[in-house]
Amino acid sequence: MGKKIKLGIIGGGGDSLIGVLHRIASFINDNYEIVGAVFNPIWEENINFAKEIDIKTDRVYKDFDTFIANETALPKEERIEVVSVLTPNFLHFPMAKKLIESGFHVICEKPLTTTFDEAKILEDVLKKSNTVFAVTYTYTGYPMVRQMREMIKEGAIGKIQKVDIQYYQGWINPIIHDKNQRNIVWRLDPEKSGVSCCIGDIGTHAFNLAEYLTGLEVKSVLADLNYLYDDNTLDIDGTVLLRYSKHVKGVIRTSQIATGEENAFQVKIYGTKGGLKWEQENPNYLYFLTDDKPLQILKPGHAYNSEISLDGTKLPPGHPEGIFDSMANIYLGIAKAIRQEPYNLGEFPVMRDGVRGMRFIEQCVSSHKAGNSWTNL
């Protein structure tokens, strides 16, 4: 392992779930040091939060523009190398674009941008640079998700014929029925969230795994979305049919009004020889189904797992690892790429995954508005 990579963070202050997830993930494998940040647009809260989490305040900046100006003025060996963008969606595009153009590597939260056009611009900007760009679709870091991907790639379930993904949450349910509440939540504000809430927030995770695990591209979608109230302009629930090819189909079912659900993310993929199932709330179990054998339950850390799965396992078998470890595995892959070390292409999602995600979000909304019609990706 080389010298620690100098990491900057934009956003993610206070009680932000995303903020603590990324900070802890960056620490886990001892590859990064947080040396600068803009945690909050309010200066007092920004500086106080830095002190609270014991980050030196000499490179905690008042705003993003000051961050860029001051860091790019430093000698290359002193400046921040990679920046995590953990802001609300509408800030991803302008910040990521400026960071790439200024020579920083970028770790960007999903969705990549708020529009597909922005995503394509960002992709073009990246092509002209020599920087690493990652989009944090968190679930790709789980060891048994990676094992599932390798088994499918190696033909363990035969030719894929059915993909079934469910992602149910209930956190918006107590908010959506209160008009005042639903009007102040940023994820329900199209100016900040984009054209979608549910599909843009969790449906994009489901779509990412639908392509990451199968190695196939979805060619078209048919979406039926739910908004519940006429004054609510962003979806909070939806079902999306997937068409990979004439004989390979799938479905994504997403909801943030599934009362009582926490983070019920389940992926099932069936082929001609078998099936594989994984659940985020029980992430250390991968279920392998066949017609001629009893159900097999595969677990992390055992020698029967693939190299990429074992590389993402830090503890002996029987010691549960969770969401922090999954994100840490993504950060580990990014560190390898920054250092120009060999890495598996499945170790972290890249710009192309983010662009595909934005295309999926927009086309789902278009499909729904067109009367639930098939729409090409």
Decide if 146 is inside a domain. Answer: yes
Residue 89 falls inside a structural domain: no
Residue 336's H or E segment, with its range, is: helix 323-338
Tens-place pLDDT, residues 10-59:
999 999 999 999 999 999 999 999 999 999 999 999 999 999 999 999 99
In a domain, 110, yes or no: no
Task: Report the CATH number that the domain containing residue 204 is assigned in CATH.
Answer: 3.30.360.10
Task: Measure CA of the first residue to CA of the last residue in the chain; give whole Å.
Answer: 41
312 falls within a domain: yes
Residue 333, domain member (yes or no):
yes
3-state secondary structure 253-311: EEECCCCCCCCEEEEEEEECCCEEEEECCEEEEEEEECCCCCCEEECCCCCCCCHHHHH
Per-residue pLDDT, 29: 95
The pLDDT score that the predictor gives to residue 180 is 87
Q: What is the mean pLDDT of residues 119-142?
A: 98
- The confidence score (pLDDT) of residue 247 equals 96
Average pLDDT over residues 341-365: 98
Confidence of residue 186 (pLDDT cuts 50, 70, 90): confident
Place of tokens 């009582």: 260
Full residue range of the structural domain in which residue 360 is found = 139-369
Q: 347 is written with which tokens?
A: 């170790």
Query: 363 by DSSP, 3-state: which?
Result: helix
Domain assignment of residue 95, yes or no = no
Q: Label residue 2 by pLDDT band (50, 70, 90).
A: low
The average confidence (pLDDT) of the chain is 96
Maximum Cα–Cα distance across the chain: 65
Based on the structure, what is the number of domains in the chain?
1
Give a yes or no: residue 357 inside a domain.
yes
Would you say residue 280 lies in a domain? yes
Q: For residue 199, what are the contacts with CB-CB under 8 A and spacing of at least 6?
A: 223, 225, 235, 238, 240, 254, 360, 361, 364, 365
Residue range 210-257, pLDDT digits in tens: 999 999 999 999 999 999 999 999 999 999 999 999 999 999 999 999
Predicted confidence at residue 373, as pLDDT, reads 98
